[in-house]
């Protein structure tokens, strides 16, 4: 009798564990469409420098918003690259830039803080803070003398939410949940020297 009860108990535990895993892997019922999108991006020559300008749109998931409201800082990474296209070989990366933005909410004032390059800016609303992070204007990439007139070049940009910067107890669930995997993917454009 005790052996069959033990078997039933183990079967019940296995079923509960399977349901728990399936519920974590199932797509969320998040009514909010979480995403990062590159609305537009391009480059210009400004005073002998190749610069990039871009506009990114951020929609955070309910889980990310709850974490932010509960004092968890979110790190958003924006990456820029300039590539030289080559016929026989892989494209050569001329420039790689990475910009890190730390977004957090102040407990008392309820303002949103964005830290970028050791500078902090305060915003009254989340929308203002995300617009600041998503607006890039004349970001210097490289000196225009490094571009050959007959070369084929392209720029690309992407932005993503850095899950590895979350507190350690949150990371496993964030890796499993689609609502935390926010990544715009690469957005490319032609560069005309």
Say what the pLDDT of residue 22 is.
Answer: 41
Say what the pLDDT of residue 7 is.
Answer: 57
Structure tokens at 80: 């820029």
Structure tokens at 141: 């990439």
* pTM of the full structure: 0.79
| Residue 106 to residue 69: CA distance in whole angstroms | 9
Domain of 90 in residue numbering reads as 34-191
| Residue 4 to residue 21: CA distance in whole angstroms | 26
Residue 183 lies in a domain: yes
Per DSSP, the residues of 173-189 read HHHH-GGG--B---EEE
Residue 6 lies in a domain: no
Give the three-class secondary structure for 47: coil
Is the distance from CB of 35 to CB of 182 less than 8 angstroms? yes
Residue 16 lies in a domain: no
Q: What is the mean pLDDT of each run of 10 residues along the chain (193 residues)?
A: 58 45 45 83 91 96 95 97 90 94 94 95 97 96 87 94 95 93 96 83
Please work out, in degrees rounded to the nearest 5, the angle formed at the alpha carbon of residue 8 by the alpha carbons of 7 and 11. 85
Q: Using CB atoms within 10 Å of the CB of residue 191, give its burial: 0 to 12 exposed, 13 to 18 middle, 19+ buried.
A: buried
Residue 176 lies in a domain: yes
Say what the pLDDT of residue 69 is.
Answer: 95
Q: Which residues contact 51 (CB under 8 A, 6 or more apart)?
A: 43, 44, 45, 138, 139, 140, 141
For residue 109, the 8-state DSSP code is T
Say what the pLDDT of residue 150 is.
Answer: 81
Residue 52 lies in a domain: yes
Residue 20 lies in a domain: no
| Residue 111 to residue 124: CA distance in whole angstroms | 5
| Residue 164 to residue 73: CA distance in whole angstroms | 12
Residue 59 lies in a domain: yes
Is the distance from CB of 92 to CB of 83 less than 8 angstroms? yes
Number of domains composing the chain: 1
Whole-angstrom distance between the N-terminal and C-terminal Cα of the chain? 82
């Amino acid at each position: 009798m005790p052996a069959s009860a033990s078997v039933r108990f183990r079967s019940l535990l296995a079923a509960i564990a399977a349901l728990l895993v399936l519920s974590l892997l199932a797509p969320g019922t998040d009514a909010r469409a979480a995403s990062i999108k590159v609305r537009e991006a391009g480059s210009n020559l400004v005073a002998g420098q190749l610069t990039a300008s871009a506009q990114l749109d951020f929609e955070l998931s309910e889980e990310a918003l709850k974490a932010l409201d509960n004092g968890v800082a979110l790190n958003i990474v924006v990456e820029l690259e300039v590539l030289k296209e080559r016929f026989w070989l892989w494209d050569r990366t001329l420039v790689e830039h990475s910009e890190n933005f730390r977004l957090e909410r102040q407990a008392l004032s309820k303002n949103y803080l964005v830290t970028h390059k050791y500078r902090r800016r305060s915003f009254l609303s989340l929308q203002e803070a995300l617009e600041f992070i998503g607006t890039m204007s004349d970001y210097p990439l490289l000196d225009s003398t490094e571009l050959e007139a007959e070369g084929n070049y392209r720029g690309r940009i992407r932005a993503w939410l850095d899950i590895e910067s979350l507190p350690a107890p949150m990371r496993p669930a964030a890796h499993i949940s689609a609502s935390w995997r926010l990544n715009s993917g690469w957005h490319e454009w032609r560069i005309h020297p």
